[in-house]
Amino acid sequence: MRFEVSKVLDAIEVRLTTDPALARAVVDLSEVVRYADLDGGRPASLVRLGLLVDALGRLVAEENVPVYAVAPRGLISDTDLTSNERMVVRRWADDGKIEVVPQLDDRVLEVAEMLGLPVLTRDREDRFRDRRPWVSDPGRLLALVSNQGGPVLVPRVGRGEVTPPVPRSPLGERLLARIWSCPAPNCTSYSTSGTGEADSFFSDMRTFTSPVSQPPPALRAGAPTCPRHGERLKDAGARPTTEVFSVRIDGVIRQRFVVSDDQPVVVGRAPEGGGGVMLGQWLTDDARKWISRGHAQFSLRAGEVTVTDVSTNGSGIRPGGSLDDDARITLKRDESRVLAAEDVVELYAGVNIGRSKLWSTGGVVQPESVMAEAPTMAFRPVGR
Alpha-carbon dihedral of residues 78, 80, 83, 88, nearest 10 degrees? -70
Nearest-approach distance from CB 96 to Zn ion, in angstroms? 11
Nearest-approach distance from CB 228 to Zn ion, in angstroms? 5
Order the strands of the 304-309 sheet from edge to edge. 277-278, 265-268, 296-301, 304-309, 336-339
236: contact with Zn ion by CB under 5 A: no
Which residue's CB is nearer to Zn ion, number 97 or number 229?
229
Closest CA to 122 of 150, 92, 153: 153
107: contact with Zn ion by CB under 5 A: no
# residues contacting Zn ion (CB under 5 A): 6
Which residue's CB is nearer to Zn ion, number 229 or number 256?
229
> Of the candidates 59, 117, 187, 277, which one interacts with Zn ion according to CB under 5 A?
187
> Of the candidates 24, 178, 229, 318, which one interacts with Zn ion according to CB under 5 A?
229
Closest CA to 59 of 139, 137, 136, 168: 139
Contacts of 235 (CB under 8 A, 6+ apart): 178, 179, 180, 181, 224
> Of the candidates 23, 176, 182, 212, which one interacts with Zn ion according to CB under 5 A?
182
Which residue's CB is nearer to Zn ion, number 228 or number 248?
228
Longest distance between any two alpha carbons in the chain, whole Å? 64
101: contact with Zn ion by CB under 5 A: no
Which residue's CB is nearer to Zn ion, number 5 or number 187?
187
Are 152 and 57 within 8 A, CB to CB?
no
Contacts of 285 (CB under 8 A, 6+ apart): none
State which H helix or E strand residue 90 sits in: helix 83-94
Strand-pairing partners, residue 210, are none
Which residue's CB is nearer to Zn ion, number 227 or number 316?
227
User: Which stretch, 27-35, 69-77, 181-189, 253-261, contacts Zn ion (CB under 5 A)?
Assistant: 181-189
> Of the candidates 36, 184, 219, 377, which one interacts with Zn ion according to CB under 5 A?
184
Alpha-carbon dihedral of residues 242, 189, 118, 144, nearest 10 degrees? 130
Q: Which amino acid is at 384?
A: R
Which residue's CB is nearer to Zn ion, number 187 or number 258?
187
Nearest-approach distance from CB 83 to Zn ion, in angstroms? 27
Strand-pairing partners, residue 220, are 223
User: Which stretch, 107-115, 178-186, 205-213, 239-247, contacts Zn ion (CB under 5 A)?
Assistant: 178-186
93: contact with Zn ion by CB under 5 A: no
CA distance 35 to 48: 7
Nearest-approach distance from CB 237 to Zn ion, in angstroms? 17
Which residue's CB is nearer to Zn ion, number 229 or number 239?
229
Nearest-approach distance from CB 217 to Zn ion, in angstroms? 10
Nearest-approach distance from CB 343 to Zn ion, in angstroms? 40
Which residue's CB is nearer to Zn ion, number 218 or number 344?
218
Nearest-approach distance from CB 190 to Zn ion, in angstroms? 5
Residues in the chain, overall count: 384
Contacts of 280 (CB under 8 A, 6+ apart): 269, 270, 288
3-class DSSP state for residue 176?
coil
**Interface with Zn ion by CB under 5 A: which residues?**
182, 184, 187, 226, 228-229
